[in-house]
Each structure stands twice: as structure tokens, then as C-alpha cells.
């Protein structure tokens, strides 16, 4: 592996990308708080990429945390679980931040919860996490545990994790990358997890290594998180886990970018990381995998960053899946008068919301509230063909051409310039001096090509 | 925990990304160009006094006026505020000789904005650099008023400014040398006396209004590149290629000027930093920009050494402008994860599909 030898000597990164104002200081220093159990949660039956779940509980049933609420039938699917003790109600339709309408199961919280506050934290992240003797778990057993626990990628895309971990004889895995980049501005959920609970991250990484048969495990963290690097290094001492410091740049945490940055390999178009012998999992997913395998507990809670200049007290919260955004924002002191935009996720790839009555899903990494000043844009001007969008595109596309094709309705041109390869990271629109809605136009182009 | 404090006054809902680099706007780019042109304009005023002020001022006023009128005729919102017409005016004005009569400036400005820009659809749509279109128009229309003789600054206080421009002198010497009128050694000695490097750098030399001072131009040009308003690849391409070919020309005795003298005289620096870097009329990829610069560098040297014109930046830029769509086509980057082999296969499939279409019975029966 000569590539690794070269890359080990300097900080790795990828070609293209931008440096948006990080704004991580808003929530970076606030330790994860356990949210008091909300009065009600709303568990959507589709929280992942893949087939929706089928309802597994009747209305007015008493459920305990961890009970299956929605069953997964297909292979690319993941069950959903009750995150509170309480009684279910009739299924209601709910709109998720990405605009999908999905059925959701409301659970009214019981008066007392089995675990609350610190006890809940201890149950999820506390205690000892083994780094040795993990060979007792068979690879298939680990994948099955991930599936039973309803594990999906917690970085945002929410791809069912067991699909990545299921042993595949045709395509052997050489390297497991654990993604701790958290390149999206404002968000600090992964950062706090790496600092406060590095144990389960390392255990989960080793379990994923066991499941995939990878020979190498590399935890990738950007150099703007020295504390997290230190914490992970300490926890990984003695274990066969490398920690790789990456040069901070957005979108380093993008799967294809991370593979290019860390290993210098290109995931082929239409392919998966396993085509180049790599599996990438997020640090949060790794921690949840450790819990699922070692403690047989499903994914019911996650860390969510509530941040931005519009929130009175930015915080990192450990919340039950299904909690409404409104509850989270209330817990952070509410919105201040400057609020102009509420975003599910971070400002680069998140969805702006028209309502706070949406549930946190497994893939919700944060809520960013921006002020009028943050969202101010100069008027759109003509494209000057300056080529900055081309310089920053991490997929090496020509955003200006794609936007032109979309505006003109030229399907052929859009296809010739590989519109479908765009991952909508937003770098082009971020730098565009003319303020063109490049990502929006490219999305339009993608629809045209289909 | 009240519900009222979570109801904000107005919520913006928009597609991502919700962050933008607001320090970087079209307007800011235009202001950068104005800032970068300031040293050259100041030097023009120092050397040519009122002639520079009136010439550039007239060009700017006419350009902005024509832009306003034409955009109005097209039923568009006025685009004078974006400063692009003003920049075209300044560059056109600075590229004219001090003696150009007022109607040359006016006709040049009208041609620049009208023929160079608006007919193509306004800002961002033009193929050729508007200022150079205007200059080429007047250069061909008023050959006498813009010829080598027009540059001789008869009213200057300094003797050096009453001479012809350095490149005209070089051209003359080269011609005399070829005709056997002077001896090679003599010519070089005389040239050195007239055009030593320091004079050329500072700008105590004759020429178009804005091109005399290499230092002022470099100052502004480097500022533009640091601000990334101009892409450094273009001037880099120009200088590297021009230097290489001028070195070659000097070596085989095609020009009496030393390479460095060539580089800092005439409008090479002005053109490389301020004219060629117009983003609208240059390629979009970094590689493309470098190739574009190289093309200009080569053409400038070819025109200087082989044509009847002493200087060739204008025609070089216009010719390379025409090649930009081609360069863009050549330098499409390979997207991440798209392999060469795969693309070839895709190409074959596409062609295969087309063949099938052609052979389809419905289409064939027509013949």
C-alpha cells in the first residue's frame, strides 16, 4: 500500500471543496445534555433510504423503549423502534424535512420512564466498551444485530448499515473508514460524541471491521477538532485502529470525497465504496453498532445539535427518535427575534423548514437556525463564466454548464456533462459570485434526465 | 416552556445551500478591477496629463451611456450599475494613444458596447472582449489616427516621450537591419540607450495611455490574482509562452530587443492581467485558462515579429477569444469516478444506438 505510505506523511484531503465559516464554536463546548422525556414522540415508518416499514403495533398498545414499531421487510430497509415507554395511538401522516409524506406512529409517554437523565446516558454510552475479544461475534451475527437494531447511517444519508456490513465474498473489503469529519458547518454532534464517548466508537469500529473482514480501520477526523482527535487516539490506544487527521475542508465527510482523501481511490460512477474495497461508517453509527451488538439495544436515541445565531442557548442534546423539533428548540431557550430560517441539518446540505412540527429521525444530525443576516444574498446577476464553480466542484463537474443545460431544458447537454453525478453538496452555489441557484438548477436537470 | 417563543415572524424556505460567500459577488469583482486599474490610471495621468483624463473619461461616459440606452431598447433592467460598462470604457481608453481624436473614442466605445457586448445578449453572453472589439473597430476604421505616428507625444516635457513607442522603434530597427541600413551592434547600443529596463518599468516611455508603466500594471495585476478576481493561470500562460518565443526570436535575430525589454514594453502586461483575464471571454477550467494564456503569448510574439503591426495583444486576445469554446470542449475535466474506459464504452453505446435508429425500417423506407 504505497498510497497509504505517502498519505500518512501529510494531512489528507481531496480536490475541490470550499471553506465556509465553521461556526462550530456556538455549540462545540456544550456537553451533550439528555433531553427530559417529551410528552409524545412521533416515529416515522420511513427514516432511511430504502423500503418503508410496515406497521407492527396496534393503536393503544403499551410499548417499552426498544419495542419494534415498524417491521422491515426488504433487504435494504431497517426496522423502527419505540423510543419511549408509553401508549401508541393511530398512525398519522407526517411530513419529513426532505418533503416526503410518511406514516408515523405517535407514542404518548407514560408518566415514568425506565431510564432518564444520567442513567439513560450511562445505558447508551457509559460503562466499559471492550476492544478485545470481539472475535466471539461472527460477521453475520454482527450484520444481523445491526439490522435488528434498525441501524442506519447517522451522518445524514440514513442508508441501512447492515447492507454495508453483510459479508460479501465477491468484493472483499480492505479498509474500513470511520467518518468523524463532520464537515458541515455549525454541527457538533459527532464532535461531542468523539470527546465524550470515544469508547463505543472504537468498539463499533472494531465490530464493523470484524463483520466486513477489513484489515485496516482508519478513523478520519478533520484538523479543526484537535480535542476529538486526542480523545479518539487515547481510546484507540492498543487497538488496531489508526487515527487520520484530515485537512479541514467541506465536503470532506462526503463518502466519495473521504475515500479519495484518505486512500486516493475513486469510487466508480454508479458503484459503491465496496467496489474499491472500502466501507465507510459514521462515528455515530459505529457507536450505535457497538450498543446493538454488545448490549443488544436498538437505535432509539441520537445526539442532535441545536445551534445557530437564532437559537438562544445552542446545545447538543441526546434525544429520543421522534421528538418534535419544537420540543428541542424550546429546550434550548427558544428562538430569538433574529430568526429567519430553520434548517434540518447544516446550512450546506440541510433542508429549510416551514414548520417546527416535524419529528427527529435517525438521520437528523442537527437543527441550525439562521438569522436574517446569515441568509442575506445579493441579487442574482448574469453568469460571468468565471469558472469558480468548476474549481471547487468535488466531483469535477462543470456546474455552470449543468445550470445552463437545466435553464435551457437541454436534456442531452445535461446528460453529456454527467448531471446525475452531482451530490448537491452546494460548493458551487456557495462560491458563485453571480449568486446563481446552481444546486436548484442542477436538481432540475437531474429530474429532466430521468 | 411557552409555545409563543418558537413562532418566528417570517421563515425563509429555500433550497440548499443556505450559506454563501457574500464577500464574493459580481459587483465586488468589478470593484476589484477598478481598484487594480488605479495605479495604471494614475501613471497615465502622470505621463500624459490631461490627455489621459479626457480620453479615458470620454470612453467611460460613452460606454455607460450606450449600455444604458441599448439595455433600455432591449427592455431590460439597467445594468449600468454593475460597473462592467465602466471597466470596458477604462480599458478601451487606456489602450488608445494620447492623440486619438474625440470621435475615435466615441466610435470605439459605441462599437465596444454595441457590437462587442449587447448584440450577443449583454453581460456574460459576449464571445469577444468588448474593449478589444471597440479598439479593433477604430484601429481598422481610422488607421492613420491610430498608427505608429499617432503615438509620438509632441507636447511632452520629457524628450523620451517625443519619440516613437519602444516597439515601433524595435520594429523599425528590425526592418532596417533586414535591409542592411544599420549594423547589428549599433542598433542594440542605440536601443539600450533609449529603452533601458528601468525606464520601461517605471513608465517614462511612450505608448498607449495605460500600458507604459510595467510596475503600476504588475501591482494591479498581482492584486487581481491575489483576490482571485483574475485567474493567475492566464497571465502565467501568457508570460511563460511569450518569454519563450521572444527568447527564440532574439536568438535567431528576428528582433533587436532583448527578451526582458519585449516583456515589459507594449501592452503585454496590461493585456495579460486586464484584458485576457475577462472571465466572460476566457475558458472556465484552470487548464483551459492556461492554454488560453499560452495561445495569447504565442500570438503576441508572432504578430510582433512577423506582421506589419508593432504590437499584437489586441488581435491575439480576439483570436484566442474565438478559440475559447473549443478550449472549453477540450478541457472538460474527468468527473470523479468516471473512468476513461467506461466513457469510451458509453460513447460506443451511444453511437450504436444511433446506428440502430438510422437502420430502423421507418427511417430507411423514406429514401
- Whether B365 has a pLDDT exceeding 70, the answer reads no
Indicate if the pLDDT at residue B196 is higher than 80. no
What does pLDDT average to over chain A? 92
3-state secondary structure of A412: helix
Using the Cβ of A440 and the Cβ atoms of chain B, whether some distance falls under 8 Å is answered with yes
Residue B191 reports pLDDT greater than 70: no
Assess A330–B contact: CB distance below 8 Å, yes or no.
yes
Interface contact B338-A387, CB threshold 8 A: no
- Which of A217, A130, A152 has the alpha carbon at shortest distance from A180? A217
Q: What is the DSSP letter of A311?
A: B
Q: List the single residue in B20, B124, B334 with the smallest CB-CB distance to A377.
A: B20
CA distance A165 to chain B (A): 23
Residue A41's pLDDT is 95
Note which residues in 227-286 of chain A have CB less than 8 A from chain B. Answer: 256, 260, 266-269, 271
Burial code (b: 16+ CB inside 10 Å, e: under 16) for B334-347 equals ebbbbeeeeeeeee
Task: Flag if A433 and B6 touch (Cβ within 8 Å).
Answer: no
Of residues A337, A400, A430, nearest to B284 (C-beta): A400
pLDDT of residue A132 exceeding 50 = yes
- Angstrom CA distances, B63 to B60, B69, B275, stand at 5, 10, 16
Backbone conformation region of residue A213, classed left if phi is above 0, alpha if psi is from -120 to 50, else beta: left
Give the model's pLDDT for residue B253: 75
Pairing of strands A80-81, A86-88: unpaired
Rounded to an integer, what distance in angstroms lies between the CA atom of residue A283 and that of residue A205? 8
Encode pLDDT of A195-223 as tens digits: 999 999 999 999 999 999 999 999 999 99
Chain A nearest C-alpha distance from B235 (Å): 15
Give the span between the Cα atoms of A283 and A192, in whole angstroms: 11
Residue B198: what pLDDT?
Answer: 76
The answer, yes or no, to whether the previous bond of B17 is cis (omega within 30 of 0) is yes
Would the CB atoms of A268 and B337 count as touching at under 8 Å? yes
Q: How confident is the model at residue B252 (pLDDT cuts 50, 70, 90)?
A: confident
ipTM of the modeled complex: 0.87
* Residue B364 confidence (pLDDT): 38
- Distance between first and last Cα of chain B: 80
Q: Which residue has the higher pLDDT, A193 or B365?
A: A193
Q: Which of A329, A341, A386 sits opposite B12 (nearest CB)?
A: A341
* CB atoms closer than 10 angstroms to residue A439: 25
Say whether A340 and B14 touch across the interface (CB within 8 A): no
Question: What DSSP character marks residue B189?
Answer: H
Q: Is the pLDDT of residue B318 over 80?
A: yes
Residue numbers in A near B276 (CB within 8 A): none
Burial pattern B108-141, b for ≥16 Cβ within 10 A else e, equals bbbbbbbbbbbeeebbbebebbbbbbbbbbbbee
Q: Work out the pLDDT band at B363, boundaries 50, 70, 90.
A: very low
Partners of residue B9 in chain A, C-beta under 8 Å:
337, 339
Is the CB of A341 inside 8 Å of chain B's CB atoms?
A: yes
* Cβ–Cβ gap A384/B13 under 8 Å: no
Burial category of B190 from C-beta neighbours within 10 Å (exposed 0-12, middle 13-18, buried 19 and up) = middle
**Distance to chain B for A88, nearest Cα, Å:** 24
User: In which band, very low, low, confident or very high, does the pLDDT at B2 lie, cut at 50, 70 and 90?
Assistant: very low
Collect all residues of chain A within an 8 Å Cβ-Cβ radius of residue B280.
Answer: 384-385
Residue B340's pLDDT band, with cuts at 50, 70 and 90, is low
Kindly give, in sequence order, each residue whose CB lies less than 8 Å from that of residue B136, ignoring residues fewer than 6 positions away. B314, B315, B318
Q: Determine the pLDDT at residue A290.
A: 96
In the prediction, which pLDDT does B254 show? 78
pLDDT band at A6 (very low <50, low <70, confident <90, very high): very low
Mean pLDDT value across residues A404-420:
94
Interface test mutation site (partner B, options A99, A382, A439, max chain B beta carbons within 10 A): A382
Report yes or no: A21 and A92 within 8 Å, Cβ to Cβ: no
pLDDT in tens, A233-250: 999 998 999 999 999 999
* Overall average pLDDT of the B101-115 stretch: 95
pLDDT of A10 higher than 80: no
pLDDT of residue B1: 42
Reported as a pLDDT band with limits 50, 70 and 90, residue A155 is confident
Cα–Cα distance for residue pair A221/A361, rounded to 1 Å: 24
Q: For residue A17, with 0-12 CB atoms within 10 Å meaning exposed, 13-18 middle and 19 or more buried, which class applies?
A: buried
Cβ partners under 8 Å of residue A318, min gap 6: A32, A33, A34, A35, A120, A121, A124, A301, A302, A303
B16-33 residue pLDDT tens = 899 998 888 888 999 999
User: What average pLDDT does this structure show over B141-155?
Assistant: 76
For residue range A413-423, what is the model confidence (pLDDT) as tens digits?
Answer: 999 999 999 99
Q: How many Cα atoms occupy the beta-carbon half-sphere of B51 within 13 Å?
A: 23
| Contact status, residue B123 vs residue B281, Cβ threshold 8 Å | no
Asked if the model's pLDDT at residue B153 lies above 90, the reply is no
Contact B208, B96 (CB under 8 A): yes
Q: What was the pLDDT predicted at A5?
A: 46
In angstroms, the separation between the Cα of residue B342 and the nearest Cα of chain A is 9
A378 lies within 8 A of chain B by CB: yes
CA–CA gap between residue B333 and residue A417 (Å, rounded): 10
Q: Do A382 and B15 touch (CB under 8 A)?
A: no
CA–CA separation, B291 vs A137, rounded Å? 58
Q: pLDDT-based confidence at A37, cuts 50/70/90?
A: very high
C-alpha cell at B363: 427511417
Least CB–CB distance from B18: residue in A269, A343, A386: A343
Residues of chain A contacting residue B289, judged by C-beta atoms under 8 Å apart: 387
Q: Of A208, A349, A204, which Cα lies nearest the Cα of A273?
A: A208
pLDDT band at B357 (very low <50, low <70, confident <90, very high): very low
With an 8 Å Cβ cutoff, are A384 and B29 in contact?
Answer: yes
Indicate which of B16, B79, B88, B229 best probes the interface with A, i.e. most A CBs within 10 Å of its own CB: B16
B217/chain A closest Cα distance in angstroms = 21
Q: Do A381 and B332 touch (CB under 8 A)?
A: no
Q: Which residue of A has its CA nearest to B13?
A: A352
Quick one: pLDDT at residue B361? Answer: 42
* Contact partners, residue B88, CB within 8 Å, separation at least 6: B63, B109, B112, B113, B116, B117, B130, B131, B134
- Residue pair A362/A50 in contact (Cβ under 8 Å)? The answer is no
**Which residue of B27, B122, B342 is in closest CB contact with A382?**
B122
Report the alpha-carbon distance of residue A255 to residue A273 in Å, rounded: 8
Q: Is B308 exposed, middle or buried (0-12, 13-18, 19+ CB in 10 A)?
A: exposed
Contacts of B71 (CB under 8 A, 6+ apart): B77, B78, B79, B80, B118, B122
C-alpha cell at B207: 505608448
Average pLDDT over residues A80-100: 93
User: Is residue B358's pLDDT more than 60?
Assistant: no
Closest Cα in chain B, distance from residue A379 (Å):
9
User: What is the DSSP code (8-state) at residue A419?
Assistant: G
pLDDT (0 to 100) of residue B345: 55
Highest mean pLDDT of the ranges A267-276, B72-81, B244-253, B286-295: B286-295
Selection from A270, A227, A267, A271 nearest residue A245 by Cα: A227
Q: What is the pTM of this model?
A: 0.88
Contact B17 A339 (CB under 8 A): no
Cell of A266: 475513486
Question: What percent of chain A lies above the pLDDT cut of 90?
Answer: 83
Note the pLDDT of residue A440. 95
Residues in chain A: 450
pLDDT higher than 50, residue B366: no
Residue B346 predicted with pLDDT over 80: no
* DSSP of A52-89: PPEE-S-TT-EE-TT-EEEE--SSS---EE--SSEEE-
Least Cα separation, residue A111 to chain B (angstroms): 19
B34 burial (CB, 10 Å; 0-12 / 13-18 / 19+) is middle
> How many whole angstroms separate alpha carbon B240 and alpha carbon B259?
12
Is A169's pLDDT higher than 50? yes
- Give the other-Cβ count within 10 Å of A139's Cβ: 17
CA–CA distance from B367 to each of A423, B276, B308, B354, B355 (Å)? Answer: 46, 51, 55, 18, 16
Considering CB atoms only, which of A185, A340, A347 is closest to B12? A340
- What mean pLDDT is predicted for residues A120-147? 92
H or E stretch at A246: strand A242-246
Among all residues of chain B, which has the CA nearest to that of A368? B18
Residue A9 CB neighbours (<10 A): 7
Element containing residue A341 per DSSP (H, E): strand A339-344
Residue B284 is nearest to which of A268, A398, A424, comparing CB atoms? A398
User: How many CB contacts within 8 angstroms connect chain A with chain B?
Assistant: 189
Closest-CA residue to A125 (of A208, A226, A194): A194
Q: Is A20 on the interface with B (CB under 8 A)?
A: yes
CB-closest option in B11, B13, B279 to A384: B279
DSSP string, A1-40: -HHHHHHHHS-B--SS-B-----THHHHTSPPEEPPPPSE
Provide the grid cell at B327. Answer: 478550449
Amino acid at each position: 500500500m504505497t498510497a497509504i505510505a505517502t498519505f500518512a506523511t501529510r494531512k489528507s484531503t481531496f480536490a475541490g471543496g470550499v471553506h465556509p465559516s465553521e461556526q462550530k464554536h456556538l455549540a462545540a463546548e456544550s456537553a451533550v445534555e439528555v433531553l427530559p422525556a417529551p410528552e409524545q414522540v412521533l416515529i416515522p415508518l420511513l427514516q432511511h433510504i430504502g423500503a418503508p416499514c410496515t406497521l407492527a403495533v396496534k393503536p393503544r398498545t403499551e410499548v417499552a423503549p426498544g419495542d419494534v414499531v415498524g417491521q422491515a421487510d426488504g433487504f435494504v430497509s431497517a426496522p423502527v423502534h419505540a423510543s419511549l415507554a408509553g401508549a401508541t395511538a393511530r398512525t398519522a401522516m407526517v411530513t419529513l424535512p426532505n418533503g416526503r409524506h410518511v406514516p408515523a406512529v405517535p407514542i404518548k409517554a407514560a408518566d415514568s420512564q425506565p431510564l432518564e437523565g444520567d442513567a439513560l446516558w450511562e445505558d447508551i454510552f457509559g460503562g466499559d466498551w471492550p476492544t478485545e475479544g470481539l472475535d466471539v461475534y461472527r460477521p453475520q451475527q454482527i450484520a444481523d444485530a445491526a439490522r435488528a437494531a434498525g441501524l442506519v447511517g447517522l451522518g445524514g444519508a440514513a442508508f441501512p448499515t447492515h447492507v454495508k456490513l453483510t459479508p460479501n465474498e465477491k468484493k472483499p473489503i480492505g479498509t474500513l473508514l470511520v467518518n468523524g469529519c463532520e464537515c458541515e458547518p455549525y454541527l457538533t454532534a459527532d464532535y461531542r460524541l468523539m470527546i465524550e464517548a470515544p469508547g463505543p466508537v472504537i468498539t463499533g469500529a472494531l465490530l464493523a471491521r470484524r463483520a466486513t473482514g477489513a484489515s485496516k480501520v482508519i478513523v478520519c477526523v478533520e484538523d479543526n477538532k484537535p480535542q476529538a482527535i486526542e480523545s479518539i487516539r487515547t481510546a484507540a490506544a492498543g487497538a488496531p485502529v489508526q487515527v487520520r487527521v484530515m485537512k479541514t475542508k467541506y465536503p470532506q465527510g462526503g463518502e466519495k470525497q473521504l475515500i479519495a482523501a484518505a486512500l486516493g481511490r475513486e469510487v466508480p460512477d454508479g458503484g459503491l465504496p465496496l467496489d474499491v474495497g472500502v466501507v465507510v461508517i459514521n462515528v455515530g453509527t459505529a457507536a450505535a453498532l457497538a450498543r446493538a451488538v454488545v448490549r443488544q439495544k436498538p437505535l432509539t436515541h441520537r445526539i442532535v445539535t441545536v445551534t445557530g445565531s437564532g437559537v438562544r442557548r445552542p446545545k447538543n442534546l441526546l434525544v429520543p427518535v421522534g421528538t418534535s423539533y419544537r420540543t428541542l428548540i424550546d429546550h434550548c431557550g427558544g428562538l430569538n427575534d433574529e430568526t429567519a430560517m430553520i434548517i434540518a441539518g447544516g446550512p450546506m446540505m440541510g433542508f429549510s423548514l416551514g414548520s417546527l412540527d416535524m419529528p427527529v429521525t435517525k438521520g437528523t444530525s442537527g437543527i441550525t437556525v439562521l438569522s436574517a443576516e446569515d441568509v442575506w444574498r445579493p441579487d442574482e446577476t448574469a453568469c460571468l463564466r468565471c469558472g469558480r464553480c468548476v474549481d471547487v466542484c468535488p466531483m469535477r463537474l462543470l456546474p455552470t454548464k449543468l445550470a445552463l443545460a437545466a435553464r435551457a431544458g437541454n436534456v442531452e447537454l445535461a446528460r453529456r456533462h454527467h448531471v446525475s453525478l452531482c451530490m448537491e453538496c452546494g460548493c458551487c452555489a456557495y462560491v458563485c459570485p453571480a449568486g446563481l441557484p446552481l444546486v436548484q438548477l442542477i436538481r432540475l436537470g437531474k429530474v429532466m434526465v430521468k | 416552556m411557552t409555545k409563543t417563543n418558537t413562532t418566528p415572524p417570517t421563515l425563509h424556505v429555500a433550497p440548499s445551500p443556505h450559506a454563501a460567500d457574500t464577500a464574493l459577488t459580481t459587483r465586488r469583482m468589478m470593484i476589484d478591477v477598478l481598484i487594480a486599474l488605479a495605479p495604471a490610471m494614475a501613471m497615465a495621468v502622470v505621463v500624459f496629463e490631461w490627455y489621459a483624463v479626457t480620453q479615458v473619461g470620454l470612453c467611460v461616459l460613452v460606454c455607460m451611456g450606450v449600455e444604458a440606452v441599448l439595455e433600455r431598447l432591449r427592455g431590460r433592467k439597467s445594468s449600468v450599475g454593475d460597473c462592467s460598462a465602466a471597466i470596458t470604457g477604462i480599458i478601451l481608453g487606456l489602450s488608445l494613444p494620447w492623440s486619438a481624436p474625440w470621435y475615435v473614442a466615441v466610435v470605439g466605445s459605441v462599437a465596444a458596447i454595441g457590437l462587442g457586448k449587447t448584440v450577443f445578449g449583454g453581460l456574460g453572453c459576449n464571445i469577444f472582449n468588448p474593449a478589444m472589439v471597440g479598439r479593433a473597430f477604430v484601429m481598422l476604421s481610422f488607421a492613420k489616427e491610430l498608427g505608429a505616428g499617432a503615438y509620438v507625444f509632441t507636447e511632452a516635457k520629457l524628450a523620451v516621450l517625443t519619440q516613437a513607442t519602444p516597439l515601433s522603434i524595435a520594429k523599425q530597427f528590425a526592418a532596417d537591419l533586414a535591409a542592411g541600413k544599420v549594423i547589428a551592434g549599433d542598433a542594440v547600443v542605440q536601443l539600450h540607450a533609449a529603452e533601458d529596463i528601468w525606464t520601461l518599468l517605471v513608465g517614462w516611455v511612450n505608448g498607449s495611455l495605460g500600458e507604459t508603466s510595467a510596475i503600476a500594471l504588475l501591482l494591479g495585476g498581482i492584486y487581481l490574482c491575489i483576490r482571485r478576481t483574475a485567474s493567475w493561470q492566464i497571465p502565467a500562460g501568457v508570460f511563460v509562452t511569450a518569454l519563450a518565443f521572444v527568447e527564440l526570436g532574439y536568438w535567431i535575430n528576428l528582433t533587436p530587443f532583448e527578451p526582458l525589454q519585449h516583456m515589459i514594453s507594449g501592452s503585454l502586461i496590461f493585456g495579460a492581467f486586464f484584458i485576457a483575464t475577462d472571465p466572460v471571454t476566457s475558458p472556465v477550467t484552470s487548464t483551459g485558462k492556461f492554454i488560453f494564456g499560452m495561445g495569447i503569448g504565442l500570438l503576441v510574439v508572432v504578430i510582433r515579429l512577423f506582421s506589419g503591426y508593432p504590437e499584437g495583444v489586441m488581435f491575439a486576445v480576439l483570436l484566442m477569444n474565438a478559440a475559447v469554446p473549443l478550449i472549453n470542449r477540450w478541457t472538460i475535466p474527468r468527473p470523479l469516478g468516471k473512468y476513461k474506459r467506461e466513457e469510451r464504452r458509453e460513447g460506443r453505446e451511444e453511437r450504436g444506438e444511433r446506428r440502430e435508429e438510422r437502420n430502423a425500417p421507418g427511417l430507411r423506407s423514406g429514401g
